[in-house]
Amino acid sequence: MAGSTQAAEPTTEGGPDWLLSQRTTELVATVLLSVAVLLTAFSAWQATRWSGVQAVAFTEAGGATTQSVAELNVASAQVAYDATTFSSFSLRYPNGLGDPTTREEALRLADRLIRPEFRPALDAWLALEPAVNPEAPRTPFEMEEYSNQRQQEAFRLQAFAEERVEDGKAANQNGDDYVLATVFLASTLFFGGVSTKIDSPSLRGVVLGLAGMSLLIGVIRILSLPFH
């Protein structure tokens, strides 16, 4: 009887201890796989979102650059017109701007020819008595009052375009980082699935540890990235 009892309770690798270890492995692997699947979906979603942000940023940058070029072309034409009208103005009254009569005639001509945006700079320049004042700037284009709104708008649009390009680059990097996190999560899925098929408890523990390490790295990377 004692011999038969001992024969009925073998202690092999397929016994209860091994079965419990296998079940524990399956439970841990199931938890790791479940978390990895959810995070993989989230990471892929974020990568897609950041890809959209990148596309919008680059599109806006391209549109702003086009508008900037158009504004700069208009500004160049306006500056050329200002230079032409000022040349006509100065050639007609080269030495008589100090005379009140001549000055009044010159201002009437300016009202017809000079752009309103250019007029403050011209008035400020004339107030310096350039005909008799050697310290006055040679042209009103050197005055602080001279400005061109279309040129300033072109510069603003160009700065906006450069900013959006940087935003697009940052969004692209965020998308790449989420894809890299997905790679670690995919490793978790691989190691977690393989661990349940291994008979050796020690090897099974190593593979399960690799799955947990991959998941941890993926989680850390995701938490370090901005959400959108």
Distance CA 207, CA 32 (A): 12
Distance CA 101, CA 107 (A): 10
Contact, 48 vs 174, CB < 8 A? Answer: no
Q: Residue written as tokens 């079940």?
A: 23
What's the helix, strand, coil split of the chain in %, to 5? 80, 0, 20
Domain range list for the chain:
24-223
- Amino acid at position 113, single letter: L
Contact, 109 vs 145, CB < 8 A? Answer: no
Residues 6+ apart with CB under 8 A from 193: 29, 33
Computed on alpha carbons and rounded to an integer, the radius of gyration of the chain in Å comes to: 39
Q: Report the pLDDT value the prediction gives residue 62, as an integer from 0 to 100.
A: 96
Q: Report the pLDDT value the prediction gives residue 122, as an integer from 0 to 100.
A: 85
Residues 6+ apart with CB under 8 A from 27: none
Distance CA 163, CA 26 (A): 50
Report in angstroms the alpha-carbon separations of 19 from 41, 53, 69, 208. Answer: 33, 50, 74, 17
Contact, 50 vs 178, CB < 8 A? Answer: yes
- pLDDT, mean of each 10-residue run, the chain (228 residues): 44 46 82 93 94 95 96 94 83 59 68 84 85 85 91 95 96 95 93 85 87 93 92
What's the number of CA atoms in the CB half-sphere (13 Å) around residue 31? Answer: 8
Which of 81, 95, 146 minimizes the C-alpha distance to 119?
146
Q: Report the pLDDT value the prediction gives residue 138, as an integer from 0 to 100.
A: 86
Distance CA 96, CA 181 (A): 77
